[in-house]
Amino acid sequence: MAELPQIHSVHASQGSARSRASHAASGRPARPSLLSFFNWPFLLVIALLVSYGLLVCWSAVQGMEKYSFNRQLAGVGVGLVIMAVLWRFDYRRLANMTTALLVINVVLILLPHIPGLGTDAGMGAKSWIKIGMQVQPGEFAKVTVVLFAASLLARYQGTLDDWREYCKVLGMLLIPFVCIMTQPDLGTGLVYLAISGVILVMGGARGRYLAITAVAGVAAIAAVFAVDELLKYETSPGVYEYRLLKNYQRGRLLVFLNPEADLSGDGYNLAQAKIAIGSGGLFGKGLLNATQSTHGFLPEAPTDFIFCVLAEELGFVGVVGLLALYAALIAICLSIARGADNLFGMLIVMGVVGMWLFQILENIGMDCGLMPITGIPLPFVSYGSSFMIVNFALIGLIGSVWSHRSMQGRKAA
């Protein structure tokens, strides 16, 4: 495996040398100005997006004892602190810690399997741990998955054209997915795959290898369904249990293929989601007036189906506003990636962009019937303090790439 090249570019070295020389003459250490350290348009978009998400979340959780809006606010508060720390931290110090990052990934994801620590998240998935409060370590592992994949691919200096090396990299990237499926948590596992896939593409993997991998993935899904049919067993007359996929996971995929097949069973959630979105009209019914969620027709409204609440209460105009904020967020992140002065930094930003885009498309798509229902939350909007903290941590990493760029990178961005 090729060694990671020196992380500082020539332009960065020359710029820092001139800076040191000028400050040496004045006797003061070099310090970046606030204008160059913070990306103010980025922070403004984040502030607007988080505020918008909190407003919708507040409306969605009203009258639901299961959810605490104060906990959501606490997640934002903790997330802001972590964001500030990571923004100041020099991400380049993690560039050669591939093995350590992989170990951290595996430990985090497997924590719920420790007896007495893990707890059932419902539907047979053991994804949470209890440490005074319930925490989902697989959610936090999204941060280390981004860092691990970026560190791994950065070693190849933008060119991964050897088949054996590609297979080795692919195998290592699949380790977090395999670990999360032991819970099992398919939604989070798909997010890991999305992160790894984007970083593979941006890291220089040959297109032919990627195409073969995609075809193999589709074949593997078909094989799982076929094997499950052979291994199923009858638990009661006409009722079958499957060994590889949970019944609810299988049902969600079948409903995606035929939404009208079981409107009173597996297709119920999708039908209610479409009703909620369609009933919002142009301007919506207003905050606190989402009848589908308040009357209990739409399950898990503050988490999986938060977009339906937004569409019903704020209508088409509210949906366009959210999508505009997401578009601005992605555009700014792409600009930051372009201005990164090394491959590792660029891959970090693109991994986060890939994760956010996948979650946005999947969450909104599943509510509209365009994607299978997987329980993937909507960034900065869905209820969940762990989810909010993770998103702020990823903002901090992007901010670190921004604040530690070279003079050439500043001009490019």
- Selection from 185, 180, 187, 176 nearest residue 147 by Cα: 176
Residue 400 inside a domain? The answer is yes
Classify residue 28 by burial, with Cβ atoms within 10 Å: 0-12, 13-18, 19+: exposed
- Per-residue pLDDT averaged across 62-68, rounded? 84
64 residue type, one letter: M
The chain-wide mean pLDDT, for the chain, equals: 84
Length, in residues, of the chain? 413
Predicted confidence band at 23 (pLDDT cuts at 50, 70, 90)?
Answer: very low
- 254, 323, 405, 413 alpha-carbon torsion, rounded to 10°: 120
Q: What b/e string do you get for 57-93 counting C-beta neighbours within 10 Å, with b at 16 or more?
A: bbbbbeeeeebebeebeebbebbbebbeebbebebbe
Give the Å distances, CA to CA, from 379 to 49, 171, 409.
9, 28, 28
Instruction: Count the Cβ atoms, other than its own, within 10 Å of residue 412.
Output: 15
pLDDT of residue 48: 97
Q: What is the pLDDT averaged over residues 283-295?
A: 84
Residue 79 has pLDDT above 70, yes or no: yes
How many Å apart are CA 321 and CA 302, to the nearest integer? Answer: 19
Q: Rounded to 5 degrees, what angle do the CA atoms 371, 253, 237 make?
A: 155
SS3 assignment, position 200? helix
Cα separation, 313 vs 295, whole angstroms: 14
Tally of CA atoms within 13 A in the half-sphere of 221 that contains its CB: 11
CA distances from 258 to 158, 263, 281, 308, 356 (A): 42, 10, 26, 21, 27
Task: Give the mean model confidence (pLDDT) for residues 3-13.
Answer: 40
The pLDDT of residue 2: 42
pLDDT tens-digit readout, 126-136 = 788 877 777 88
Chain center to CA of 50:
16
Model pLDDT, residue 173: 96
Task: Identify the H or E element spanning 335.
Answer: helix 306-339
Confidence label for 35 from pLDDT (cuts 50, 70 and 90): low
pLDDT at residue number 264: 61
Residue 269: is its pLDDT beyond 60? yes
Query: How many CA atoms within 13 Å lie on the side-chain side of 379?
Result: 29
pLDDT at 123: 57
Residue 18 domain-assigned (yes or no)? no
Phi, psi of 129, rounded to the nearest 5 degrees: -125, 155
Instruction: Check residue 263 and give its pLDDT.
Output: 61
What pLDDT, on a 0 to 100 scale, did the predictor assign at position 398? Answer: 97
- Other Cβ atoms within 10 Å of 254 Cβ, number: 16
In a domain? residue 312: yes
Q: Is 141 domain-assigned?
A: yes
Q: Which residue has the higher pLDDT, 340 or 293?
A: 340
- What local confidence, expressed as pLDDT, does residue 411 receive? 56
d(CA 256, CA 245): 16
* pLDDT exceeds cutoff 50 at 229: yes
- pLDDT of residue 18 exceeding 70, the answer is no
Q: Of 194, 366, 404, which Cα lies nearest the Cα of 274?
A: 366
Q: pLDDT at position 265, please?
A: 62
- Cα–Cα dist 162/405, whole Å: 30
* Residue 32 resides in a domain: no
pLDDT at residue 300 in the model: 80
Residue whose tokens read 């996929």: 245
For residue 65, being part of any structural domain is answered with no
Out of 70-79, 102-111, 268-277, 329-338, which region has the weakest mean confidence (pLDDT)? 268-277
- Is residue 38 assigned to a domain? no
Residue 147 banded pLDDT, cuts 50, 70, 90:
very high
Letter for the amino acid at 128?
W
**Rounded mean pLDDT, 184-191:** 89
277, amino acid identity: I
The span from the CA of 385 to the CA of 139, in Å, is 10
- Give the domain range for residue 112: 81-205+246-412
User: What proportion of the chain, given as a percentage, has pLDDT over 90?
Assistant: 54
**Among 83-92, 171-180, 264-273, whose mean pLDDT is lowest?**
264-273
Does 230 fall in a domain?
no
Is 190 a residue whose pLDDT tops 80? yes
As given in the structure block, the two tokens for residue 186 are 């398919």
Residues 83-111 have a mean pLDDT of 94
Listing DSSP states for 139-181 in one string gives HHHHHHHHHHHHHHHHTTTT-B--HHHHHHHHHHHHHHHHHHT
Domain count of the chain?
1
Q: What average pLDDT does range 211-233 have in this prediction?
A: 88
Band of the pLDDT at 29, cuts 50, 70, 90?
Answer: very low
Any idea which residue has 């990237």 for tokens? 173
Least confident span in 223-227, 387-391, 394-398: 223-227
Q: What residues have CB less than 8 Å from 156, skipping those under 6 apart?
A: 1, 2, 165, 169, 203, 204
Structure tokens at 22: 């000028």
C-beta neighbour count of 261 within 10 angstroms: 12
pTM of the model: 0.86
Tell me which amino acid residue 150 is.
Answer: A
Q: Out of 71-80, 214-223, 242-251, 377-386, which region has the weakest mean confidence (pLDDT)?
A: 242-251
Quick one: average pLDDT of 37-53? 93
